[in-house]
Amino acid sequence: VESRTATEPVREATFKSLNNPYFLGENPGLTQSTGWVGAWESEPSVYAIEAESTGDVVAGVNFAREHNLRLAVRGGGHSYQGTSNAPDSLLIWTRKMHEVQLHDGFVAEGCEGHMTPQPAVSVDAGAMWIQAYDAVSVKAGRYVQGGGCTTVGVAGLVQSGGFGSFSKNFGTAAGSLLEAEVVTADGEVRIANERTNPDLFWGLKGGGGGSLGVVTRLTLKTHELPTFFGAVNGEIKASSDEAYKRLILQFVRFCRESLLNPHWGEKAEFHSENVLKLSLVFQGYDQKEAAAVVQPFFDWVRAQNGLTLTNQLVAAIPARIFWDGKVMRNIPGAMVGDDRPGAPLENVLWAGDKDQAGVYWNGYESLWLPDSLLKPENEERLAEAIFRTTRHWSAEFHLNKGLGGAPSQAIELARNTATNPAVLDAFALVIIAGGQPAAYTGVPGHEPNRAMGRRGAGEIAAAMAELTELVPEPGAYVSESNYFQPSWQRAFWGTNYERLSAVKRKYDPDGLFIVRHGVGSEDWSADGFEPL
Ligand SMILES: Cc1cc2nc3c(=O)[nH]c(=O)nc-3n(C[C@H](O)[C@H](O)[C@H](O)COP(=O)(O)OP(=O)(O)OC[C@H]3O[C@@H](n4cnc5c(N)ncnc54)[C@H](O)[C@@H]3O)c2cc1C
């Protein structure tokens, strides 16, 4: 707001800070995305409650309900759709609630005698995943399923469903949830687990953030930490469309034969400039074992006319240091630190996530692709569609965001969540997106470029249409999806939407918690002020 009247040096310094997710996250008036063309723009709430306890949250919920206020809830502030941002609202901001507590033998409340005590971690709702990873993996040598991006909020991600780099083995974050403490619209502090308020528990697992109440604490299963985590990189440039088509088909086969299993995750990017960029991760292999899996694919590439492979890497590190900011910030290309003077060394993010801070989005689409598309009889159809997609825009295939090839236990846990069942047999979530640097309407030199944004959105939509054609019942990941998603109830939750609506009606009958395209939002005006 001040930037609109600030001197140029002050304004430019402020905008430079918008590239830092920690700066964004620590300011209740800012969000990780600055907006979206024709959709929303980041705007501070009128007042914010900096909650430090469940009691503060109860007071905030009661105050908002009694005074009939528009209420917004923010944790990590990473919503692409701006669902933690509501102009003219009261904000409950949980950033200060970030305690992490490990348990050797956790039993959920009311589940005594029905649940085997198990290793778990309780995380307060405002924590970022890096705080959970630091406590669970770096300090205690265990594994918890969270998100890939270090600065995403714990509560927002679990309610999204939630994928991390190794979800192909450990499942969704929501699948690992054992218990939540949540303040519902009536101001009650409720415990939700398999036996206590089980309907609310199910809804919180993937039903979307900001719709059912304010979560104050989550308890998640922890798992044995693998010995190594590793990465496979490679960039393959094709010199012609024909060579690129051959490469895409070969990658589809490689995916079916070698990557559709719990070891692999992260992404393959198909670029419009006829480039395939691999940024894969693995677990459950050492460096040699992983290299043996990928070598035949790289050998095939090298033997082809018209394909050039660069930046090839297969590396593994002890899993214990994977989220150790003090170590990983010194490995070139791995993590980067919070660049503010005096910032804690633990404040780190993956180098590849840096470009996302402050983005003003032009367009964003996601789609789960069923693993049946990898079958030999479908592989050519899929490869051709991928090529056509790239004529419009580049596409990222996130292998870790689909559970096709995951262990049956991970699939069953995800089946028992509100997440769209399309995730269960998807080999990947495709994301096609584009944006522009941080922008605010009315700030000289930093206005959004709307014309460019609209053109980009059109191309992104055209790109995704090529793949959507292959899927009879297209599903999109609620938290990484189009602000203007058509048939959003079906796309985000599939056959689970009716059950989720019933949970919403029971726990928030008057619509205190309304977010863009959240459960029950069809009953409200777009700004969340007027019941329809
Ligand atoms: C850079 C970036 C990287 C991402 N990486 C991943 C990834 O690797 N895997 C993945 O699955 N997703 C990823 N996402 C998507 C992310 O998981 C979702 O946007 C998630 O909802 C963000 O949670 P948050 O707390 O950070 O955001 P917020 O914007 O604070 O919250 C998101 C939603 O949850 C609600 N909410 C927040 N806290 C609470 C609470 N305590 N109680 C109730 N509702 C609450 C908000 O009201 C809002 O509707 C990424 C997003 C970004 C911007």
Which atom in ligand 1 lies closest to the alpha carbon of residue 128?
Answer: 26
Encoded tokens for 134:
């630091």
Q: What is the pLDDT of residue 5?
A: 75
Which atom in ligand 1 lies closest to the alpha carbon of residue 480?
Answer: 15
Q: Which residues sit with their C-beta closer than 6 Å to ligand 1? A: 32, 73-80, 83-84, 94, 125, 147-149, 152-153, 155-157, 159-160, 162-163, 209-210, 214-215, 353, 356, 479-480, 515
Which residue is listed with tokens 């069923």?
Answer: 370
| Residue 45 to residue 63: CA distance in whole angstroms | 15
227 close to 218: Cβ distance less than 8 angstroms: no
481 close to 365: Cβ distance less than 8 angstroms: yes
Length reported for the chain: 532
Task: Report, as ranges of residue numbers, the positions in the chain whose pLDDT lies below 70.
Answer: 1-4
Q: What is the pLDDT of residue 161?
A: 98
| Residue 170 to residue 283: CA distance in whole angstroms | 11
512 close to 61: Cβ distance less than 8 angstroms: yes
Q: What is the pLDDT of residue 13?
A: 87
Q: What is the pLDDT of residue 227?
A: 98
| Best residue among 73, 150, 356 to mutate for probing ligand 1, ranked by most atoms within 8 Å of CB | 73
Query: CB count, 10 Å around CB of 75?
Result: 30
Phi, psi of 506 (to 5 degrees): -70, -45
Q: What is the pLDDT of residue 501?
A: 98
If DSSP codes are grouped into helix, strand and coil, which group holds residue 436?
Answer: strand
3-state SS string for 331-365:
CCCCEEECCCCCCCCCCEEEHHHHHHCCCEEEEEE
Encoded tokens for 44:
């501070």
If DSSP codes are grouped into helix, strand and coil, which group holds residue 180?
Answer: strand
- Measure 182 CA to ligand 1 centroid, in angstroms: 17
- Measure 287 CA to ligand 1 centroid, in angstroms: 33
| Best residue among 42, 61, 71, 74 to mutate for probing ligand 1, ranked by most atoms within 8 Å of CB | 74
- Measure 82 CA to ligand 1 centroid, in angstroms: 10
How far, in whole angstroms, is CA 322 from its chain's centroid? 19
Angle subtended at Cα 81 by Cα 79 and Cα 84, rounded to the nearest 5 degrees: 50
Q: What is the pLDDT of residue 2?
A: 62
- Measure 205 CA to ligand 1 centroid, in angstroms: 13
**In this structure, which residue's CA is closest to atom 34 in ligand 1?**
209
Encoded tokens for 8:
């140029």
- Tens-place pLDDT, residues 337-374: 999 999 999 999 999 898 999 999 999 999 999 999 99
Q: Quick check: pTM over 0.95?
A: yes
The residues, ordered by sequence, that sit 6+ positions from 14 with a Cβ below 8 Å of its Cβ are 2, 3, 6
